Amino acid sequence: MNNVTIAGIGAYVPSLVVTNEKISEFVDTNNDWIVERTGITERRISEGENTSDISIEAAKIALERAGVKAEDLDLIIVATISPDMFIPSVACIMQSKLNAGKAACFDISVACSGFLYGLEIANSMMKSMNYKNALVVGAEVLSKVMDWSDRGTCILFGDGGGAAVLKNEPSDSKGIIKSYLRSDGAKGEALTIGAADFNTPFTKEPQLKDRIIKMNGREVFKFATNAIVESVNEILKDTGVSLDEIKYIVPHQANYRIIKSAANKLGIDEERWYLNLDRFGNTSAGSVPIVLNEMYEKNLINKGDKFILVAFGGGLTYAATLVEW
Ligand code: ACO
């Protein structure tokens, strides 16, 4: 029987390391506060590489590891809230630069939960359209939309991305077993990035948008902890898989305290939650594939291992995916 499996993973982050000390040169903050409240010590910031550049570098690694040629891709989905442009999509820019001529290409806007939504969309489309190979990317250059004078947000985020090549073929691995996807649009105002101004010869009242991240940190914090707990519980309940069978929880890397609080509520040892937010901060849709790639490179995930990806973010949105490697 055909299963949709993750056949290759890759990631790419810009080379510039921006420490907490560096940020405290231009906003009123300090290393101790940031480490204590978030767990973050540094992040990567783009000096000009755009979201498509990061996505392409990550994709090349994933394609190579999967042994798939770009021209054999049937589908490219990019999860991002910081695309190069509204159109063409990052996925279409990638198609052109990678020579993935036969792929259907589009971006999705699901903030930090985007990579997980992308995996399930690809999984479903591969089955319904009989696609063989797909590329799912989560990538951001959030520094473009950051308010670098707001210490409540600019300390949290970083740039980077990751990519997964999915194959739909007979396999011993169950691959993507189940997804749990949810949204809470009523809480959307807690985390916003404005789009184009609305000011035409016909608008009654011009609406000028701030094209920067605005966030109610405490509101998002509360939401995030509950979202992780609900998503992990629901995916276990849905599949009948027990916690003992799960090797790792791979969470969206937003804040160490959010993950610690969710881990306590779920009663899952912190050692089973893989973290790298100390070095990369919150890379939004990039965070889960960047973590997966690091785990792969450290040989922490092996054939047959089951793990749960879990994420939450703007929208507000949240998701969990049970995967067998
Ligand atoms: N340095 C020093 N002091 C600060 C800083 C800073 N960088 N930021 C805020 N403070 C101050 C505040 O002004 C406040 O001071 P006051 O008490 O004098 O008013 C005090 O520290 C406490 O502020 P809180 O906002 O209550 O701090 P909190 O402990 O909640 O931490 C944080 C703030 C880190 C933003 C936290 O709320 C958080 O991580 N929230 C979740 C954010 C998140 O994960 N967002 C991403 C979602 S994913 C996506 O889709 C993009």
Q: Please list the pLDDT of the chain residue by residue as tens digits (325 residues).
A: 899 999 999 999 999 999 999 999 999 999 999 999 999 999 999 999 999 999 999 999 999 999 999 999 999 999 999 999 999 999 999 999 999 999 999 999 999 999 999 999 999 999 999 999 999 999 999 999 999 999 999 999 999 999 999 999 999 899 999 999 999 999 999 999 998 889 999 999 988 878 899 999 999 999 999 999 999 999 999 999 999 999 999 999 999 999 999 999 999 999 999 999 999 999 999 999 999 999 999 999 999 999 999 999 999 999 999 999 9
State whether the beta carbon of 253 lies less than 6 angstroms from ligand 1. no
d(CA 44, CA 17): 5
- Domain co-membership, 129 together with 187: no
The domain boundary, picked from 110, 141, 172, lies at 172
The pTM score is: 0.96
> Residue 312 CA: which ligand 1 atom is closest?
48
The protein residue with its alpha carbon nearest to ligand 1, atom 47, reads 313
Q: C-alpha dihedral over 24, 29, 32, 36, to 10 degrees?
A: -130
- Domain co-membership, 211 together with 261: yes
The protein residue with its alpha carbon nearest to ligand 1, atom 2, reads 29
pLDDT reported for residue 156: 97
pLDDT reported for residue 211: 87
- Domain co-membership, 17 together with 110: yes
- Distances, alpha carbon 295 to alpha carbons 108, 138, 292, in Å: 25, 16, 5
The tally of domains found in the chain comes to 2
d(CA 15, CA 287): 16
- Domain co-membership, 232 together with 286: yes
- Domain co-membership, 151 together with 86: yes
- Domain co-membership, 218 together with 116: no
- Domain co-membership, 192 together with 162: no
Q: Token pair of 225, please?
A: 């902890």
> Residue 152 CA: which ligand 1 atom is closest?
8
State whether the beta carbon of 283 lies less than 6 angstroms from ligand 1. no
Q: Are 103 and 69 in contact (CB under 8 A)?
A: no
> Residue 220 CA: which ligand 1 atom is closest?
41
Q: Token pair of 258, please?
A: 């959010």
Domain extent at residue 260: 176-324
- Domain co-membership, 154 together with 10: yes
> Residue 38 CA: which ligand 1 atom is closest?
34
CA of 32 to the centre of ligand 1 (A): 13
> Residue 113 CA: which ligand 1 atom is closest?
50
Strand partners of residue 324: 175, 306
According to DSSP, residue 273 is labeled B
CA of 37 to the centre of ligand 1 (A): 7
- Domain co-membership, 129 together with 224: no
Residues identified as active-site = 112, 252, 282
The protein residue with its alpha carbon nearest to ligand 1, atom 7, reads 151
Q: Token pair of 241, please?
A: 């898989």
State whether the beta carbon of 218 lies less than 6 angstroms from ligand 1. yes
State whether the beta carbon of 254 lies less than 6 angstroms from ligand 1. yes
CATH number at residue 283: 3.40.47.10
The C-alpha angle 39, 141, 183, rounded to 5 degrees, equals 75
State whether the beta carbon of 217 lies less than 6 angstroms from ligand 1. yes
- Domain co-membership, 15 together with 126: yes
- Distances, alpha carbon 169 to alpha carbons 135, 165, 264, 281, 302, in Å: 15, 13, 38, 36, 19
Best of 34, 187, 218 to mutate for ligand 1, by most ligand atoms within 8 A of CB?
A: 218
CA of 324 to the centre of ligand 1 (A): 35
3-state secondary structure of 84: coil
The domain boundary, picked from 153, 172, 191, lies at 172
- Domain co-membership, 17 together with 88: yes
pLDDT reported for residue 207: 87
The domain boundary, picked from 148, 172, 196, lies at 172
Q: Are 292 and 9 in contact (CB under 8 A)?
A: yes
- Domain co-membership, 191 together with 285: yes
- Host H or E run for residue 191: strand 191-193
